[in-house]
Structure 1
Amino acid sequence: MAEITYRNASCIYESADSLAVDSLNLDIEDGEFVVLVGPSGSGKSTALRMLAGLEDIDEGSISIGGVDMTDVPPKDRDIAMVFQNYALYPNKTVAENMGFALKMRGIGADERRRKVEEAAKVLDLTEYLDRKPAKLSGGQRQRVAMGRAIVREPQVFCMDEPLSNLDAKLRVQTRTQIAALQRRLGTTTVYVTHDQVEAMTMGDRVAVLRRGQLQQFSSPTELYDRPANAFVAGFIGSPAMNLLPATVTDDGVLVGNTVIPVERDRITSLHSAGVTSVTAGIRPEQFEITDGAGVEAVVELVEELGSESYVHTRVPGSGNQIVARSLTRTPARLADTIHLRKREGTVHLFHPETGERVGD
């Protein structure tokens, strides 16, 4: 079994002012695909390198299958790494690259060839086994790097932004292949990315990190539907959730000159807690453009995406920016004054100072 447990795991770099990873707690199930996501400097790659033994655990512990890995060297952790750069030997063929780690472990040529051919079949690399890396595309090279990890049959795959060097179309194709491959193999996988769309489409669960601290660890739908704080709300979703300063009223929250209705029990909860102002979070798809009712806003940009449009606006006076999705083409023009009315759906409420979710 390859359950992974982070228990108050921390790491600080020499001469740094703060922890790179600060008391991280995660329980990753056997066979689960978990994604670590966050902006640059959030500690996601450091957390992965701690698991692989490439960075020291300064406090706390990390275990694999119930075994504490604190003093276990990387080569004895039964982990296979896939990096952002492919790290292939240019003078070796695809087959030799994939089988090199097995050769170093003393596995015979026949057994190596069998494992390499099996992995190549899974990755659609059979016809390229005798080629050198220079004769392959970026996506094919990344699949070779994946194959090199697969033939080892490790307890855990550690993937550190493996798609960053690919173009946009190839990234979408390859991430689908990686997710499907992991489901087929059933190997516990920890995957690092800064791309929240990649995280949402690939992971069974996603851990959102910020400044070395875990913000939320949930399924993609839970992150989208019930973000734990304003940071997660603004980070998950494309375009990001609208986060607007609002005043609590008896009927809802006042944004600009418009009251947006909120359920009575949530308003009562806010009043009971003495909360008079909040940050209201509303997804772009929850706004619709109307002729007169709703929040008045001036159009600053229209993104035409074919099947839908995103209208970027600014509320006069307050300066608040609101993005709304429209399913019709050219719903407004630059500098037009429009009105945005909230459709059905949850208004997410966050404390204006701490950013934590309130009113539930």
Structure 2
Amino acid sequence: MATIQYDRASCVYAGAETLAVDSLDLDIADGEFIVLVGPSGSGKSTALRMLAGLEEIDGGTIRIDGQDMVGVSSKDRDIAMVFQNYALYPNKTVGENMGFALKMMKVPLAERKRRVADAAELLGLTPYLDRKPAKLSGGQRQRVAMGRAIVREPRVFCMDEPLSNLDAKLRVQTRTQIAALQRRLGTTTVYVTHDQVEAMTMGDRVAVLRDGKLQQFSTPATLYDHPDNAFVAGFIGSPSMNLCTVPLTSGGVDMAGTTVELPRAYMTRLAEAKLESVTLGIRPEHLELRRDGTGFTATVELVEELGSESYVYARIPGDPIPGLEGSPVTFVARSPQRAPAALAESVALHITDASAVHLFHPETGDRIGD
């Protein structure tokens, strides 16, 4: 196990005009499971490869247990990597694949067999030790790749989107197994994914990256409840937070001709910021469909029924409201009912908890208030 510090760590690729990773600061505790998440091109995989020694650290530093990794070769960092593709030797058995790195390290045969047997039992692979990879399912192959990393007993696990090749059901099952396994082993783990649901369910803390820059590094609950900016607010959560930029009124905000009142504390913050408009964010679970006219009017465009609940997508009539990415005038509301509304029906969307509204600066996207 080990502590890890990214201290203004930067990386730039030859010929690129911008940094792939720009002054990244992370302080990872011993035994933590950390997830790096962000859209394609955000720098998350590059940050992981910098830690593993597969990319140069062009600025700042990365330390493992206080030791500066600049100039230290990958093989001397005591890190085990699990890749998106399993990278198993097709001509070797499961046991041989898991023990191959130990063989190259000249670990005695008896010790190799012990470590492979222990890892196989941990991963439920004991019945498959004599099989070739071609005779295994995708989930079993991924567990073999995990086992190959575990037998090395490294200080740090680096995992680069290891579940991307699995189907949806197997992804859920395997991510649960990986998270439980990491907690049993207690090995410091840095895990990369583009799937924010995966990040939220697996990580002790999650680092959200965009264009090579760290947006927020905190627990999943904090990212969801108190996003630092509009990007994090829109990226974390499924469906994502409803975001739109709306003009201010004397008592709240104007939603397509309807005034939605905000708590006095919110209005004080907006007055202090001297703004005429604000980017408002509200989670789908804090929007309620009503037919008594309470709320702002919207027209139902789509209903997603998930069995235990439904998501209603409704568009505000009139001219588009200036907003963020996507369709800023379409709101998503979660309903515990099946078929809560019909297509093209006019409904009222009511904010059930005004204190659950998030406010962001309309230009910078930064959070307003605490």
Length-normalised TM-score, structure 2: 0.96
Which residue does the alignment assign to 1:45? 45
Task: Measure, in 1, the Cα distance between the counterparts of 2:369 and 2:157.
Answer: 40
Task: Measure, in 1, the Cα distance between the counterparts of 2:61 and 2:199.
Answer: 25
Task: Measure, in 2, the Cα distance between the counterparts of 1:295 and 1:279.
Answer: 17
Task: Measure, in 2, the Cα distance between the counterparts of 1:133 and 1:92.
Answer: 8
Gaps of 5+ in 2: 321-328
Task: Measure, in 2, the Cα distance between the counterparts of 1:29 and 1:316.
Answer: 50
- Are 1:91 and 2:100 counterparts? no
Which residue does the alignment assign to 2:335? 326
| 1:227 alignment partner AA | P
Task: Measure, in 1, the Cα distance between the counterparts of 2:349 and 2:271.
Answer: 27
How many residues are treated as equivalent by the alignment? 360
Task: Measure, in 1, the Cα distance between the counterparts of 2:247 and 2:45.
Answer: 39
Which residue does the alignment assign to 2:324? none
Q: Equivalent residue of 2:356, what SS? A: coil
- Kindly state the Cα deviation for residue 256 of structure 1 after the two structures are TM-superposed: 1.7
Task: Measure, in 1, the Cα distance between the counterparts of 2:161 and 2:262.
Answer: 40
| 1:57 alignment partner AA | I
- Are 1:307 and 2:308 counterparts? yes
- Are 1:358 and 2:359 counterparts? no
Task: Measure, in 2, the Cα distance between the counterparts of 1:254 and 1:29.
Answer: 45
Task: Measure, in 2, the Cα distance between the counterparts of 1:170 and 1:118.
Answer: 24
Q: Equivalent residue of 1:200, what SS? A: helix
What's the CA shift string for 1:249-283, capped at 9, x where partnerless? 33222222222232212211210221221100000
- Kindly state the Cα deviation for residue 109 of structure 1 after the two structures are TM-superposed: 1.1
- Are 1:2 and 2:9 counterparts? no
Q: Judge which range, 195-204 or 1-10, deviates more.
A: 1-10
What's the CA shift string for 1:302-322, capped at 9, x where partnerless? 101111110111111133111
Q: Equivalent residue of 2:140, what SS? A: helix
Which residue does the alignment assign to 2:264? 264
Gaps of 5+ in 1: none
Which residue does the alignment assign to 2:129? 129
Task: Measure, in 1, the Cα distance between the counterparts of 2:168 and 2:84.
Answer: 15
Which residue does the alignment assign to 1:200? 200
- Are 1:279 and 2:279 counterparts? yes
| 1:295 alignment partner AA | F
What's the CA shift string for 1:303-343, capped at 9, x where partnerless? 01111110111111133111111111111111111111011
Which residue does the alignment assign to 2:171? 171
What's the CA shift string for 1:145-183, capped at 9, x where partnerless? 000000000000000000000000000000000000000
Q: Map 1:21-32; keep pairs closer than 5 Å.
A: 21-32=21-32
Task: Measure, in 1, the Cα distance between the counterparts of 2:173 and 2:27.
Answer: 29
Task: Measure, in 1, the Cα distance between the counterparts of 2:160 and 2:224.
Answer: 24
Which residue does the alignment assign to 2:151? 151
Q: Map 1:104-143; keep pairs closer than 5 Å.
A: 104-143=104-143
User: Please, which of 346, 349, 353 is the counterpart of residue 359 of structure 2?
Assistant: 349
Which residue does the alignment assign to 1:298? 299
Task: Measure, in 2, the Cα distance between the counterparts of 1:24 and 1:248.
Answer: 36
RMSD: 0.9
